Chains A and B, each alone.
Chain A
Amino acid sequence: MNQKKVLFTIAKTHLLTKFRQTATAALGVTFGIGAYITLVCFMTGLNKMLDDLVLNQTPHVHIYNEIEPSEKQPVSLYKEFENALNTVHSIKPKQSQVRIHNALPIIDHLRKDENVLCALPQVRTQVFYVAGSIELGGTITGINIREEVEYFNFGDYVVDGDPVDLKNTDNSILLGAGIAETMSLHIGDRVQITSTGGTIFPLKIVGIFQSGIADVDNVRSFTTIKTAQRIVEGSDNYITDINLKLNDISQAPTIARTIERQFDLKAIDINEANAQFETGTTIRNLITYAVSITLLIVAGFGIYNILNMLIYEKMNDIAILKATGFSGKDVQLIFIMQALIIGIVGGILGLFLGMGLAHLIDGIAFETEALPTITTYPVNHNPWFYVIGITFAIVSTFLAGYLPSQRAKRVDPVKIIRGQ
């Protein structure tokens, strides 16, 4: 232990006498790690925000009845044409109901599955929003507002009004922001809705809904399941969609496939619906790490350089240390220690720099209509990034110091001393 201290003292003294070069090398590491922390905090914050934007409102499994053509046309059932090449032109979708058959027992069944966090019924239908003589096409969705708020953060997207009012007020509606703007409607106003059957319903606006996705906000509104069922003139068991939230999101595809087979329904899982988000996240992470690693490699070359220089300059010291009984390993350790001192000091400063910059970005105002819940730039302060950052610094400086130290280890003292 005492001997290590001797080596450490030598390492430290060398660095202190070359303070300017040491500081430059350490600053390289500082900027590398600082940039990594800033980038990774900002990028993952951004990722999380973008994912939340869509994934929060997207059910893990969405179950509905799809209108599609029959896979087996009647002709293929006809035995006489079994071996013939049959061509059917202009296939039309099969006549079927939009609602899910036996929806309530299915929901009960799904709720018993222990991986299912919640199963929420919805009633979705086409309507027209009527403003004087103008009719705007759109959809209205009947929901259980309390559960939607609890499981799908629905409250985040109600920018005006209280979502719970939907339940408390009869014949009420949460109007899409785009529609409200087009029709100049505000909370407390009434909006006329015409069902596809032609019946007119006057509904009271209790809130404005804004998802941040314009295409959605221009057409979609929400009401209670009961009101929606009245609009479609359906009974209590008229349910068009079931949304599942799972405890383990990775199980979504398996569960979706099971439901499709078991109930003969269409079930879309979240991975299918949002494959592009996964790609975006991966690419942003890739950029973050590519930039950070590049910066660290540059810093690594700085350290490599200063150690090489130091070894040339201290050739005599190395020779006499070896002559007086320090082994090659001891000498190597001196230079590895120097690399690590630079790495650790530079790395820790880098963590502080990164933390400062991340907090600075976190404080910058960032308001956009598309994202109603965001007021400042999104930053993800995950302590793990700091652990990764300092590990990064230590590993890269160790590698940068290893090669020069290997050379110092091999220095032949006889050659140096006789060469004088």
Chain B
Amino acid sequence: METAAPRSIRLSALLTWWPAWLLLALTAAAILAPWIAPLDPDRQNLLARLKAPGFEARGATYWLGSDELGRDILSRLIYGARVSLSVAVLSVLLSGLVGVAVGMAAGYLRGWTETILMRLVDIFLSIPAILLAIITVAVLGPGFVNVILVLALTRWPRYARVAYGQTLAIADRPFVTLARAMGASPLRVLALHILPNIIGPLLVVATLEFGLMVLFEAGLSFLGLGVQPPTASWGSMLSTGRNYVGSAWWIATFPGIALFLLVLSANLIGDRLVDRIGKGR
């Protein structure tokens, strides 16, 4: 049936999945940044500060204007996609891996392992994220890698909760007990029999978390704990730009739109997945 669907339906399917195309386009821009960015994103020009979009200086055009240090907003936006996207992807991966491992171990092994691991989850859930952020930066120093660490540290318990609940629900199913009876090691059972059956809800969580991570990175930048200057991230551009809303609207507007579209796309995709795969959280 579906293969024979008329052209117009395929087109509308393409359109309804615009968030996915947008994400792909942003990823492509991030990867190709050195080739498509018109100017060096960190190149300052104190004589061309806060210039409006379309301004020309030294033979270069600032298509989206310049920021408080005379840097090209368009180039920073393109390079900033690298930071915003990779922080989000890597922190989702890291927190997902840790959280799922902990949750599955607790749900499958039960007993003391369960008690200790799940209490640990509770403890991490009740420490303010900001406290963890400041401490991580103070102990390990600031930087790209540590931003990811901070985000992973604060978010892994969510995955652990979901993985734990799902594992509990599945661990007693016949196919699992059968595999166990046939002498499969716990690791094998978890990886081959349980994980494939619980991955759906976890993917949903991961997609929704992706958008959140982009926002969290922006929040860390706002609090001065984000990626180190002069490296551009959308969050840092937006948090600087908000001080210029009345005098140079373009500094915050463009990263604001980019960030909004990115998070909205992730949220919309997550929402579709919720409908398709299951309720998730």
Asked whether A and B interact, the reply is: no
- Give the B-binding residues of A (Cβ under 8 A): none
- Give the A-binding residues of B (Cβ under 8 A): none
